Amino acid sequence: MAARAPIPEAGAELFNKALALFYAWIVDELSEGRIEPRIVQQYSIGTACDLVQAFDDPMPANAYELLMNLAAAHAVPAPADRSYASGATCLRALRDKYLASIGMHSMRRFPRKI
């Protein structure tokens, strides 16, 4: 199997920003908590995950530790290893779970009229 190219610096930076933005989003530091934030108005957290999913390079230790803590706190599978691919899988699961939780919360708060 051919070795994959290393993750571009911009891709690693984008993933790290997505992780930091997700953390800020769930601790409600952002004013519009029901809308998935975008990084520099270009990429959603999900898109950032898509972009780095193909890279096996190791993410920084602090990003890995934050993902491990978030996974444990929110009952999603932790990254299998320190690769960006595993980190992207975990961050996507965290994002999807959070989106589902605020979607359900919104429906309870604003029930549909039949």
Q: Where are the alpha helices (DSSP H) in 33-114?
A: 45-52, 61-73, 84-109
Distances (CA, A) of 7 to 28, 43, 113: 30, 17, 49
pLDDT at 41 over 70: no
Residue 23's pLDDT band (boundaries 50, 70, 90)?
confident
pLDDT at 31 over 60: no
* Coil/strand/helix, residue 6: coil
pTM of the model as a whole: 0.73
pLDDT of residue 75: 94
Cα 89 → chain centroid: 8
Residue type, 34: R
Average pLDDT over residues 59-81: 95
